[in-house]
Chains A and B, each alone.
Chain A
Amino acid sequence: DSGVTQTPKHLITATGQRVTLRCSPRSGDLSVYWYQQSLDQGLQFLIQYYNGEERAKGNILERFSAQQFPDLHSELNLSSLELGDSALYFCASSAAGAGSSYNEQFFGPGTRLTVL
């Protein structure tokens, strides 16, 4: 158990819908990363938040957005869903944001999204 929790574990929805994925980082971790794992694209970084602020952006679609709340949990919002958005979405957390020595990213179990 990494200490990172993600809910829900599975999500099945229809095209055009909107969903919210939730991530609770390990106690004390300030950084949250979102990754998408799909058959087409493999594992790719979407977005990072550090202590409530966006720190880095990867291959995140405009239909997707995220935020980190004062209690440090994060939500990934996916809207106007398409079949191709079906994937496993991982959240990871680490102690620091940038500039300091290495801080391991701990991964949650993921949320499997199926768009029908």
Chain B
Amino acid sequence: AQSVTQLGSHVSVSEGALVLLRCNYSSSVPPYLFWYVQYPNQGLQLLLKYTSAATLVKGINGFEAEFKKSETSFHLTKPSAHMSDAAEYFCAVSETGNTPLVFGKGTRLSVIA
């Protein structure tokens, strides 16, 4: 069975600082991996996805993530945090890309001015 572990339920960074949100996955097959963002009282928006092409994936709003098979990780980074990045971030895994998503517990990102 697939699973996702997000380390840290809450991460706080200063505006302009590096954002690093951690995600480790468990999968018996080469996975499809995703990061979603949820702003308060809104739905889920896809930030970026890994679909077995390039291991370094660039997404929207300056975010990127690197797939590391040896570490079973897919950490999300952004070089410089902006106040508008404050939201809940979810890492998710899918077996084939057309199967249901298995989500992590989420990490709430706070950005301090």
Contacts and interface: CB of A to CB of B under 8 A. Distances in A.
Given A94-B98, A107-B36, 8 more contacts: A42-B103, A42-B105, A92-B44, A102-B32, A102-B51, A103-B97, A103-B98, A104-B49
Interface size class of B (residues with CB under 8 A): 20 to 34
A33 B92 CA distance: 15
A110 B39 CA distance: 13
Contacts, number: 55
B99 interface: yes
B105 A2 contact: no
Interface string B71-113: 0000000000000000000100000111111111110000000
Interface stretch (A43-51, A63-71, A72-80): A43-51
B44 A90 contact: yes
A105 interface: yes
B97 A102 contact: yes
Contact of A45 (B45, B98, B100): B100
Nearest to B102: A45
B101 A109 contact: no
B103 A43 contact: yes
Nearest to A45: B100
